[in-house]
Structure 1
Amino acid sequence: MQLNLKNPLIIFDLETTGMNIATDRIIELSYLKIYPNGKEEGKTLRVNPGMPIPPETTAIHGIKDEDVASAPTFGSIAKNLAKDFEGCDLAGYNSNRFDIPLLAEEFLRADVDIDLMKRKFIDVQTIFYKKEPRTLSAAYKFYCEGDLENAHSAEADTRATYEVLKAQLDRYEDIKNDVSFLSKYSAFTRNADFAGRIVFDDNEEEVFNFGKYKGQKVADVLKKDPGYYGWIMQGDFTLHTKKVVTNVKLRSFNK
């Protein structure tokens, strides 16, 4: 089944130096851009992370320091990448919890203004887990009846994610071929920040989703415990989480 698109859809996958959204870096990015008319464009980029790649990470994706030594930094490609992503909805495998938050961090570090929060996100892993909890390789075998070659290479995983998404639409009659539906279906919470530390409640107000103030409104917490803001700003939180908290704080000042 072909995707029913109103906007271009970018399906992408990242290989990184590790799994910490706040501190790790992209070393490979592959994406497939699907247009509403069915046209496809693909691109794979290696990126110099400006930090060593841990051996345990290399053991997973096979990318070594010397493989990216002459590659451009993310900062040098960020503006062109933002142009490619502008106006597109996004999809990936575990992308809501990892790839999109980390990509947003890289854009913020590069001081490139792209508001990904305005886009719709489809997480193929979430759809898969709600239907058939497995890994991407197992998902590919289950839905596409084949073995995933070169698993953990960004390009292979990107293509596999696209094929699995189309097969999911073919298999499940209750899953609509509509990006808005898929975006809502593949999200567990309505995040205010990419890392999911802050979520929206039913009244569209930001609520902490972690720690001692979990479930409480951000604005209320900052009012009764002003020091909590400083703790967040100095803590190991993502730049985007800090930006969202700061926006809430500034908004309360303007009232």
Structure 2
Amino acid sequence: MTDPARIVRVVDIETSGLPEDEQHAICEIGWVDLDLSTMSIGNPVTFLVNPGHPIPPHIRAVHHISDQDVADAMRPDQALTQLMKGMGPDDVFAAHKADFEQNFIGGGGRRWICTWKVSLRAWPEFVSHSNQALRYELQVDAEPGFDPAAAQPVHRALPDATVTAHILRKQLALRPLERLVEITKEPGFLYWIGGQKHKGKTFKQVAVEDPGYLHWIVDKSDMSADDKFTAKWHLQRRAA
């Protein structure tokens, strides 16, 4: 049985490529800590990381980190050592779309929270569940102690981690930490259905109007695990 967590370390990374690319490594990391006893957000840390290979131009266009910027930076393994400092064995990591971060950060067996997956459950009707969309939907900028300057520029590690931490604090006001961890272990539960055929409709609507399409998603499509999980859930509920 795990002991109560003291902190959630909310982390964001910028990388030199996607996990499926031949070369991919961290080129920037940033985090803040959410203290679970006070719900305060603090201890901001960020630094550049040398991925050990050139950053492709199309990737650099996202975060604008250059090879020159990271030339004298620490290695990814050294960065991860720094990330683990100050964390107890029962403390928790969080990230927005945490599956991505987990491809680069092992976490030492610690639990994870994906604020994207949790947001799909907490606020399913939102048009977008991106970090910045949630920031404005939830009026994070009006939160006491939130510094909009600390959230800039977007697509950099510490600003994005800062926004994610404030989103997480709102999520923890709705559900206990353990439930957020459980949600993270499942695929994302989607509200809006993808593809052109039923664009603008919800999975719930399509389950009534065209359940065969949901069967196609589950059995024959190459759609995401999130789509298949959601379609299967609605089909099972309809059959109950």
TM-score (norm 1): 0.59
How do 1:1-255 residues align onto structure 2 when only pairs under 5 Å count?
A: 6-20=5-19, 23-38=23-38, 40-87=42-89, 88-95=91-98, 97-104=99-106, 115-116=108-109, 119-130=110-121, 131=124, 132=126, 133-144=128-139, 146=141, 149-170=152-173, 175-176=174-175, 178-189=176-187
Contact 1:11–1:162 (CA<8 Å) still a contact in 2?
Answer: yes
Tell me the distance in 1 between the aligned counterparts of 2:50 and 2:85: 20
Q: 1:34 to 1:21 in 2, by over 3 A?
A: farther
Tell me the distance in 2 between the aligned counterparts of 1:169 and 1:115: 23
User: Unaligned regions of 5+ residues in structure 1, if any?
Assistant: 105-113, 190-255
Q: 1:158 to 1:79 in 2, by over 3 A?
A: closer
Aligned residues: 168
SS of equivalent residue, structure 2 residue 100: helix
Partner of residue 219, structure 2: none
Q: 1:54 to 1:162 in 2, by over 3 A?
A: same
User: Unaligned regions of 5+ residues in structure 2, if any?
Assistant: 142-147, 188-240
Contact 1:144–1:163 (CA<8 Å) still a contact in 2?
Answer: no
Tell me the distance in 1 between the aligned counterparts of 2:26 and 2:59: 12
1:83-139 residue CA offsets vs partner (Å, 9 max, x unmatched) = 3345221111001x11022112xxxxxxxxx632xx221111112233234321111
- Measure how far apart 1:186 and its partner are: 3.0
Percent of aligned positions with the same letter in both sequences?
A: 23
SS of equivalent residue, structure 2 residue 52: coil
SS of equivalent residue, structure 1 residue 186: helix
Contact 2:140–2:167 (CA<8 Å) still a contact in 1?
Answer: no
- Measure how far apart 1:167 and its partner are: 2.6
Tell me the distance in 1 between the aligned counterparts of 2:88 and 2:140: 34
Tell me the distance in 2 between the aligned counterparts of 1:85 and 1:45: 18
1:37-78 residue CA offsets vs partner (Å, 9 max, x unmatched) = 336312102101111001111111111111111111123344
TM-score (norm 2): 0.62
Q: 1:31 corresponds to which letter in structure 2?
A: W
Q: 1:54 to 1:86 in 2, by over 3 A?
A: farther
Q: 1:181 corresponds to which letter in structure 2?
A: R
